[in-house]
Structure 1
Amino acid sequence: MIWTLVLCFTITDISEEGLSAKEGLLLWAQCKTAPYKEVDVQDFSISWSDGLALCALIHCHRPKLLDYDKLDKAYECSVMTYIASYFHAFSTMDQAETVSRRVEKFAELMQSVWMSRNDYKR
Structure 2
Amino acid sequence: MPGLRISEVAKRTQLSVDTLRYYEKIGLIPIPKKNNRGYKEYTESELRYITFIVNLKRTDMSLASIKSYIDAYKRGEITDCYQLLERHAKDVEKQIEERQSVLQTIHYKLEHFKEIDGGGKKS
More relative contact order, 1 or 2 (CA 8 Å, 6+ apart)? 2
Relative to the length of structure 2, the TM-score reads 0.40
Structure index of larger Rg: 1
